[in-house]
Chain A
């Protein structure tokens, strides 16, 4: 299936969860905030939130800024 991940078309395995995606990219779930189709996904729901074809997912984190 295809989703739009941080603005880029991305091919993912069917049925993958947010947590599964983060783990596959070596990203610590504690260090990020996730927005799925403009709704914030609570961190404790990453494991049970399944991604679907056409979803828009944003994975963000804090960086240096003023």
Chain B
């Protein structure tokens, strides 16, 4: 197969699996997860330093070649997301930002209106903006207009490992939106990541499913392979689905004939 890379914000990525750094029982496993998954993009969050105790720094566990994708988790409106994005950039980690604006505590569903507002402000400031949103065509179109670099629809609520519950809506985004579609949140099994890629998603972001597996490194490898398999299946052009059987072997020349 000729080179098949994903380009976001002017950066060519060979891997279409993005990973996260949350929920690991021990952050020390993160370098091995990065290597096993082949991922080149990794998310982090921004929080207040605990002034009473100095704990390990997650940044020490992230291989230097990875593209950091800080998120704006904790933001409840566009202004807070913009503030967090500027702080993250001041950390010197580049200008990629995953916009996450959430004020719903039960399902952690993203606020599309506030997300679009933050996207517009930050895109104008030169950020490469990857907004996390519901799989909704109108929100996605508003993000295109706002200057997003990709659209990240959820498969299922964050951390649920329930898979591609939004499949039909994600399919519509893939068809209608002329930006990379990165399925983010809810992907719980490699088969689900593979399915998203088979449909034509440009990438998937997986955190909880890898971080909370009994063997995160093996699960990371499985996800890396599943994403590649799904991508190749998509590029190969799957055959048509039929309701009735269609013989694979010729229906003439049987031994019993004549």
Is B71 within 8 A of A60, CB to CB?
no
Q: How close is A53's CB to chain B, nearest CB, in angstroms?
A: 19
Q: Do A27 and B87 touch across chains, with their CB atoms under 8 A apart?
A: no
Contact in complex: A65, B20 (CB < 8 Å): yes
Interface residues of B in 85-114 (CB under 8 A from A): 86-88, 90-93
Contact between chains at B90 and A61 (CB < 8 Å)? no
Report yes or no: A66 in contact with B20, Cβ–Cβ below 8 A: yes
Chain A residues 25-44 with CB under 8 Å of chain B are: 25-28, 31-33, 35, 38, 40, 42-43
* CA–CA, A38 and B64, complex, Å: 30
Q: Is the pair B44, A65 in contact by a Cβ cutoff of 8 Å?
A: yes
Counting chain B residues whose Cβ lies within 8 A of the other chain, the interface size class is 35 or more
Which chain B residues numbered 53 to 72 have a C-beta less than 8 Å away from chain A? 54, 57-59, 70-71
Check B49–A59 contact: CB distance below 8 A.
yes
Residues on B with C-beta less than 8 A from A38 are 83
* Chain B residues in 8 Å Cβ range of A42: 90
**In the complex, which residues 1-26 of chain A have their Cβ closer than 8 Å to any Cβ of chain B?**
5-7, 25-26
**A62 pairs with B87, CB closer than 8 A:** no
Question: With A6-B51, A66-B207 in contact, is A61–B22 under 8 Å at CB?
Answer: no
Q: Are A64 and B27 touching (Cβ within 8 A)?
A: yes
Nearest B residue (CB) for A31: B57
Looking at the complex, which one of A6, A31, A40, A59 makes contact with B90 (CB distance below 8 Å)? A40
Task: Give chain A residues whose Cβ lies under 8 Å from the Cβ of B59.
Answer: 31, 62
Q: Are A64 and B70 closer than 8 Å at their CB atoms?
A: no
Q: Say yes or no for A58: interface residue by CB 8 A criterion.
A: yes
Which residues of A are found within 8 Å of B73, using beta-carbon distances? 65-66
- In the complex formed, the residue of A with least CB distance to B57 is A31
Q: A35 and B44: CB pair below 8 A?
A: no
A27 touches B44 (CB 8 A): no
Residue of A nearest to B51 (CB): A25
- Across-interface contacts of A61 in B (CB, < 8 A): 46-47, 49, 57, 91
**Known contacts A7-B48, A31-B59, A33-B90; A64 and B54 CB within 8 A of each other:** no
Type the 1/0 row for B209-250, where 1 means its CB is closer than 8 Å to any CB of A: 000000000000000000000000000000000000000000
Decide: A27 and B49 in contact? CB cutoff 8 A.
yes
Does chain A have a CB within 8 A of B208?
A: yes
The answer to whether B86 touches A27, judged by C-beta atoms less than 8 angstroms apart, is no
Q: What are 10 A-B residue pairs whose CB atoms fall within 8 Å in the complex?
A: A6-B48, A59-B48, A61-B49, A62-B59, A62-B70, A62-B88, A65-B22, A65-B73, A66-B20, A66-B205
Given A42-B90, A60-B87, A61-B49, 7 new contacts (CB under 8 A): A33-B90, A64-B27, A65-B22, A65-B43, A65-B44, A66-B207, A66-B208
Chain A interface (Cβ < 8 Å from any Cβ of B): 5-7, 25-28, 31-33, 35, 38, 40, 42-43, 58-66
